[in-house]
Structure 1
Amino acid sequence: MAGIIHPFYESHRGAMEAAMQHRLDLAESMMCERAHLSDIDGIRQEVMDEFEIVLTQMPYVGGAASRMSDFFMRLMGFMAIGRVLRRHGVSLSVIGEIERETYKAQLLTVPEAERVASGRQFLSSENQTLLRDQAAKSHQQAFPEDFVYDFVEPGPGDNFEFGINYTACGFCKFAARHGDKEILPSICGLDFDAYATRGIHLERTQTLAGGASHCNFRFSRLPSDQDE
């Protein structure tokens, strides 16, 4: 019996499917050359079919009121790609490479000025105020499958602008529930390019997926954006 897609994700389904098709366009040559797959049309269809399953599995975490809904909508499709490539015997390291390079290529299709402006907005004092508020609200755990996190202020001698410690991760919960722990690190690896393409340096030395007590995100401006 087919699962039900939450109405919030259903309303964004067209955009998410278009993004998936774009990713598959960008990934085709890598799937041939690095994963040694030949029936690319078949793989594409298998990925899109798997994405339909993922859509029914995506947990609702508050919709437009939660910043994490956007993370799910932008990144959960990579779970579908990882599942299909793994079924075809592709190694975890190659899956990680393909997904990260595909995502970076997709991000770079956005004009640089727009990306840099988005990065500056993320690092702005206004957004930091919003993140503090949302971090506090995350501890209420209104949605069991959501993220829980703390806002981290820099201390004396720190060279980051602010940080976020994730003590519970929606992707980890999803992976545990649906048997995706093996491919979860590929999702974690996407974060670095997601920020770098917006002029933000992300430093992270541990993750929940890797067995740590929390993911320690630390954000600062990339040198190229310092004096602009």
Structure 2
Amino acid sequence: MTQESIDRRTFLGWIGRFSICALGVSLLPSCRGNALNGQNDTGSQNFYLANKTKIMKEIDDMCGYTRKVSSTMYGKEMADTLVLGTTQKFEDLLPDLPYIGGYTNNLTTNLYMGAAGLALYKTMLEQGKTLEETGEVLYRATEMQYGANPLGGMMTSMSVSDTTKTIISKEAERSQERMYTGDWVFNFIDGNGADFDYGIDYTECGICKFYQSQGAAELIPYMCMLDFPISKAANSGLVRTTTLGRGGPRCDFRYKIGRPVQMDWVPGFLKKG
């Protein structure tokens, strides 16, 4: 299989799903600067409902990994309860998601997968589980999903290609227009090849904004840490020292192929492991 033979939406969905990972930010050129000019956050609010069938298929795929992890942790009956509750609560959240450009903005996928994480969290709380337990289920499910994917090596080469860097740089410039209030805003940082290949500084985060609007800011750090199992799978060497989700001025993603990841925050369940 060659890089060119892979359907780009399939690949992009894989690298962007269930994460705010910078690798998934914008490998696909955006049309937000022209075709969508003039639309606001509520003008295309029905985007999510219009694409509900496709979106729910992605949520079902994600829940497959959630089910496997929670079955090991809590047993099959509880796993079934968590998956059912997550699906139902996600459907309730879907109409409330802010419009940020639809599929012309690859971060739309990150936003609704973040909503799925919130739906799981709400369900976990109802079942007497804790915030950290939710974080562990999310982490283990992401680790399982990305670790098992055969495209990891190809993801490594694409993540640092000149084409990728150029597109991310252009998307960073577009983000400064702040066309949608619920969107991400970020800067591209060119690397020197020694300390890091390239970086991205996020100064606004769509998932942070949505979680805060939903009264669930405490979940943000656990969503932020999902970037690391994805980086491990891609061998992209993510190092991060600060995040918006933990009160920092930005999220400073720095990538260098082949080096170990370095987490800015390590939750209790990983320290125990």
Structure 1 length-normalised TM: 0.85
Moved more, 138-147 or 176-185: 176-185
Q: Report the residue type matching 2:68 in the other structure.
A: L
Count of equivalent residues: 216
**1:16 counterpart residue number:** 58
CA distance in 2, matches of 1:190, 1:143: 25
Q: Deviation at 1:123?
A: 1.1
In the alignment, does 2:163 pair up with 1:126? yes
**1:218 counterpart residue number:** 254
**2:245 counterpart residue number:** 209
CA RMSD across the alignment: 2.4
Q: Deviation at 1:137?
A: 0.2
Structure 2 length-normalised TM: 0.72
Call closer, same or farther: CA 1:64–1:27 in 2, change over 3 Å: same
Secondary structure, counterpart of 2:256 in structure 1: strand
In the alignment, does 2:181 pair up with 1:144? yes
Residues 13-59 of structure 1: CA distance to partner in whole angstroms, max 9, x if unpaired?
Answer: 242232233123222324407xxx96433332212111112322222
Unpaired segments ≥5 residues, structure 2: 1-44, 261-273
Q: 1:129-208 maps to which residues of 2 (within 5 A)?
A: 129-154=166-191, 159-208=195-244
CA contact (8 A) 1:103 1:190 kept: yes
Residues 169-197 of structure 1: CA distance to partner in whole angstroms, max 9, x if unpaired?
Answer: 00010011111112121111111112211
CA contact (8 A) 1:26 1:106 kept: no
Unpaired segments ≥5 residues, structure 1: none
Q: Deviation at 1:4?
A: 5.8
Call closer, same or farther: CA 1:54–1:158 in 2, change over 3 Å: farther
Identity %: 24
CA distance in 1, matches of 2:204, 2:50: 23
Of 68, 71, 94, 1:26 maps to: 68
Secondary structure, counterpart of 1:201 in structure 2: coil
Call closer, same or farther: CA 1:85–1:30 in 2, change over 3 Å: farther
Call closer, same or farther: CA 1:7–1:46 in 2, change over 3 Å: closer
Q: Deviation at 1:207?
A: 0.5
